[in-house]
A and B are shown apart, each in its own frame.
Chain A
Amino acid sequence: MKKEPRYSTIELMACAASRILEDQKSVFVGTGLPIVAAALAQRTHAPNLLIVFESGGVGPRVPTLPISVGDSRTFHRAVMASSMDYVMSTAQLGYVDYGFLGAAQIDMFGNLNTTVIGSHEQPTVRLPGSGGANDCGSLCWRTIIIMQQSRQRFVQKLDFLTTPGYLSGVGARGRAGLPFGTGPHRAVTQLGVMGFDEETKRMKLVSVHPHVTVGQVKENTGFELIIPENVTTTEPPTKKELDTLRKEIDPAGIVLGSK
C-alpha cells in the first residue's frame, strides 16, 4: 500500500464529492464546499465540466474560490454572463445534470432544511432560507449534498422542508409535480458517502471514509440507514488533488481551513 499524504476531513469531503462529477456534464453549484469540489473536478478528471452559477455565470474557468455565488469569479472567462432567469430556466428545461448543495438538516429521503432550527414563527436559529437550493433540488437531474453528519443533522424529522429530496418516498416527487426522473443522488459527509435505494428512495451507505467504521456512521445518523453488504472504503485524496485544492482553488484557506 502506498503511503497516504496527510489531509483534513474537509479536503477528503471535497475530493469525494468532486469524483462524483463526470466530464462533459453540467453542474449547478452553491456557496462553499460545492464550488471547491466542482473547481477540483474541472482541474482533474473533468476538464470539460460545465459549471453553472445561479446568478448567471455559464461555463466559467473559476480562477479562485468565489465568496459569493454571484461575484465576478463566477463568470471569469465564462462562455456567457447571463441572468438568473436564463440559468434557472435552463435548469427547468433539463440542461443541468448535477446540483450541488449544503444543508443544516437532512432526512432519510434526502429532503433538506436550510431555513430555520425550531419553529418558523419563533426560530431558535434563523438560517438563510432556500436561496437557490429549492430550485437546484427541484430542477437538476441529480442532487449531491455535502454536509456534516451527526444525529442533530441527519434527522428523523426536519424542522422545515426547504428543498425537496424524495419527499415521502417512491413516486412522491412526481405526485407533487416536480420534474420526472430527478432527485438526490449522493450525500457526502465527514464520515462517508451515502446514496439512495432504488426501490424505497431511502438513504443507504455507499462508502465509509478511511479509518471510519460502519458503526460510527450509524451512530451519527438519527434515522435507520440502509447498510448494504458491499460497503466500500472511500479512496483517500491523491497528492495532485491536495496540491490543486491548497495551491490553486483555496489558497486563502477560506473553506478548507488553515491546515
Chain B
Amino acid sequence: MEVLEQGTGALLAWHDPDEQRRWILENKSRSLRDKRMSVKEIVSRFLQNGNYIAMGGFGHVRVSMIAIYEMIRQRRRNLTMAAKTGVHDLDILVASGCVDKIDNAYCCGHELRGLSPASRRAVESGHVRVAAEISNAGFQWRFKAAAMGLPFIPTRVMLGSDTFKHSSARIIKDPFSGKPICLLPACYPDVAFIHVHRCDKYGNSQIDGAIMEDFELSRAARRLIITTERIIDEDRIRRAPWKTTIPFYLVDAVVEAPYGSHPGNMPYMYYFDEQHMTKWLKLSRTDEGVREYFDRYVYGVESFKEYLRLIGGDRKLRHLRRIEFLKEPLVAPWARRNDL
C-alpha cells in the first residue's frame, strides 16, 4: 500500500494485534468473580508510574473523579493521558503533577468556562508536553480499531490539516476508491477508569444517557476500572441484558462511589457544581492556589465521603440534583467574564 503522507506525532499506546491478543489470553480472566475493591486498592494495584491512562465519560461529564483524586493522593507520576476530550479530568491531573505527557484531541480548556489556567501554564512553560494531535472522532476511532483487534482504522477526517501533520496517523491511497484516506493507529490504554450509573459486583455495567466512547474504550483498555454510583444485584442485569454497555470479563475492579463524578455532571442524577468549578478555576491561576486546592480537597481528606461533606454535603448534593432535573436555575459565577 502506498503511503502518501505520514504524521510526525508520537505513536502512543499502540500494540501489534497479535501481541495484544496474547496479552489478553494471559492477563484477562473470564471468571465471574466478585471484583469489589476500595479506591485505594485499585490505584495501588493497577496504576503504575509512566502508564498511559484514559478516563471514560466526557472530560467533566460522567468522569471518575474519585479515581482521579486517589491518583493524586498516591502521587502517581509521568502518566501519559488520552486527552480525548480532556477537560476537568485532565486539568486537575496535569496541575497535580501526575500527568506530564498529553495525547491530544482537546486539552487545556473547560468548554464554556474558558481556557484552563493550570494546564495552559504547564504546556506553555514546557513542563508538560503535547506529544500528538488528533480530532475527537479520530481518538475514539483509535479506540474502535483497538476494540476490533485491528492495527488501524481508515477514516475521512484530518485530511489536509496540521492536525494530521502532528498526529501519528498515515494517509494512503485507498485501493478501492483510489482517493486519499487517513489511517488511524489503534490505541490500547494501559488503564481506563469509567464511571457508570450502576453495575453488579462482577462489573456488568449500565450507563444512562449518551455513552460517549466508552463502548470502544472499555474494550481497548488493557486494565479497566469501573467506579459506580450504585452496585446492583446480578439479577437486575440479567433481567434486562440489552442495557449492559460493559460486560464483566472486560472489568478488572469495581468501586462503589456515590457522587463519584463530582464536580462533574452525572446525567439523570446531578449537574455540574459550578461553584466548585469556579473555585478551582480561580485558585488554579497560580501555583500557590493549586497547592491550596489540593491540600484542602485531596490531601486534606481521608475519604471521598469526607470530601463530599467538605464540598457542601447533602444540602449541596440535593441542590445539584435539582439543577439536573431543571427544578432550579443554574448559576454560573464565571459567566460574565465569557466573551465567546
Closest A residue to B160 by CB, please name it.
A176
B209 contacts chain A at the CB level, 8 A cutoff: yes
Knowing A132-B137, A179-B156 are in contact, say whether A162-B162 is a contact too (CB < 8 A): yes
Complex contact B111–A129 (CB within 8 A): no
A194 contacts chain B at the CB level, 8 A cutoff: no
Complex contact A31–B159 (CB within 8 A): no
What are the nearest 10 A-B pairs in CB distance?
A177-B180, A56-B210, A70-B58, A176-B160, A128-B109, A88-B137, A135-B137, A134-B135, A72-B267, A131-B106
Complex contact B210–A257 (CB within 8 A): no
- Interface stretch, picked from B192-200, B211-219, B279-287, is B211-219
Knowing A128-B107, A177-B180 are in contact, say whether A67-B210 is a contact too (CB < 8 A): no
A164–B130 CA distance with the chains assembled, in angstroms: 21
Complex contact B267–A85 (CB within 8 A): no
Complex contact B136–A84 (CB within 8 A): yes
A127 contacts chain B at the CB level, 8 A cutoff: yes
Given the complex, which residues of B lie within 8 Å of A82, measured CB to CB?
210-211
**Most chain B beta-carbon neighbours within 10 Å: one of A56, A160, A178:** A178
Complex contact A134–B171 (CB within 8 A): no
Closest A residue to B270 by CB, please name it.
A72
Complex contact B335–A130 (CB within 8 A): no
Query: Of the candidates A10, A67, A126, A164, which one forms a contact with B161 in the assembled complex, judged by CB atoms under 8 Å apart?
Result: A164
Residues in A153-185 with C-beta less than 8 Å from chain B: 160-164, 167, 172-173, 175-179
Q: Mark A66-93, 1 if CB is under 8 A from B, else 0.
A: 1111111011000001111100100110
Complex contact B215–A178 (CB within 8 A): no
Task: Classify the interface of chain A: helix, strand, loop or mixed.
Answer: loop
B298 contacts chain A at the CB level, 8 A cutoff: no
A236 contacts chain B at the CB level, 8 A cutoff: no
A164–B340 CA distance with the chains assembled, in angstroms: 21
B108 contacts chain A at the CB level, 8 A cutoff: yes
The number of chain B residues touching the other chain, given as a range, is 35 or more
Given the complex, which residues of B lie within 8 Å of A221, measured CB to CB?
none
A54–B81 CA distance with the chains assembled, in angstroms: 21
A41 to chain B minimum Cβ distance, whole angstroms, is 19
A109 to chain B minimum Cβ distance, whole angstroms, is 11
Complex contact B135–A131 (CB within 8 A): yes
Closest A residue to B126 by CB, please name it.
A122
A118 to chain B minimum Cβ distance, whole angstroms, is 9
**Most chain B beta-carbon neighbours within 10 Å: one of A57, A173, A177, A253:** A177
Complex contact A57–B112 (CB within 8 A): no
Query: Of the candidates A68, A125, A252, A258, which one forms a contact with B329 in the assembled complex, judged by CB atoms under 8 Å apart?
Result: A252
Query: Of the candidates A55, A134, A258, which one forms a contact with B158 in the assembled complex, judged by CB atoms under 8 Å apart?
Result: A134
A85–B120 CA distance with the chains assembled, in angstroms: 29
A120–B156 CA distance with the chains assembled, in angstroms: 24
